[in-house]
């Protein structure tokens, strides 16, 4: 049983004890509404973790600074970032010196 349900039941019992003989059946509806709001809040939080979203601007700036700091990369374009759960995915195209081999250019991506 969740804490929210226990608190709601406790409130109902206390109010029922304090107001004997009064019609307090509406309080059950209020408790149900509060629990429903808590469930909706949990669903929204879970959906953010499950859906892919773009990385925050601060992280994108950090990524761009790291790319620009590498002297072997002459320029880049088509930077795409996303976050799924706690994992981050980064994709971009780089331009390197024309005399660089494919093997050397792939080594850059491992840095």
Examine the domain organization and report whether 65 and 84 are in the same domain: yes
Examine the domain organization and report whether 33 and 73 are in the same domain: no
Return the structure tokens found at 110: 């491992």
On the question of pLDDT at 85 being above 80, the answer is no
Count the residues in the chain.
Answer: 111
On the question of pLDDT at 32 being above 70, the answer is yes
Examine the domain organization and report whether 40 and 66 are in the same domain: no
Q: Decide the pairing of beta strands 87-95 and 75-84.
A: antiparallel
Q: Using the 3D structure, point to which of 14, 29, 49 is the last residue of a domain.
A: 49
What is the domain range of residue 64? 57-108
Examine the domain organization and report whether 42 and 74 are in the same domain: no
Q: If you average pLDDT over residues 93-103, what whole number do you get?
A: 89
Examine the domain organization and report whether 73 and 100 are in the same domain: yes
Examine the domain organization and report whether 104 and 61 are in the same domain: yes
Examine the domain organization and report whether 61 and 93 are in the same domain: yes
Locate the DSSP E strands across 37-84. Answer: 75-84
Specify whether the CB–CB gap between 4 and 36 falls below 8 A. no
Examine the domain organization and report whether 64 and 103 are in the same domain: yes
Examine the domain organization and report whether 68 and 103 are in the same domain: yes
Q: If you average pLDDT over residues 81-95, what whole number do you get?
A: 88
Q: What percent of the chain has pLDDT over 70?
A: 94
* 90 — pLDDT class (breaks 50, 70, 90): very high
Better-predicted residue by pLDDT, 85 or 90: 90
Report the number of distinct structural domains present in the chain.
2
Q: If you average pLDDT over residues 61-77, what whole number do you get?
A: 91
Examine the domain organization and report whether 68 and 43 are in the same domain: no
């Amino acid at each position: 049983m969740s804490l929210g349900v226990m608190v709601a039941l406790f409130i109902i019992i206390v109010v029922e004890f304090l107001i004997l003989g009064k019609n307090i059946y509406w309080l059950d509806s209020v408790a149900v509404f509060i629990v429903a709001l808590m469930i909706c809040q949990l669903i929204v939080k879970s959906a953010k973790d499950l859906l892919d979203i773009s990385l925050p601007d601060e992280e994108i700036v950090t990524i761009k600074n790291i790319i620009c700091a590498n002297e072997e990369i002459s320029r880049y374009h088509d930077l795409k970032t996303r976050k799924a759960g706690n994992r981050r995915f980064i994709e971009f195209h780089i331009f390197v010196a024309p005399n660089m081999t494919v093997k050397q250019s792939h080594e850059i991506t491992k840095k």
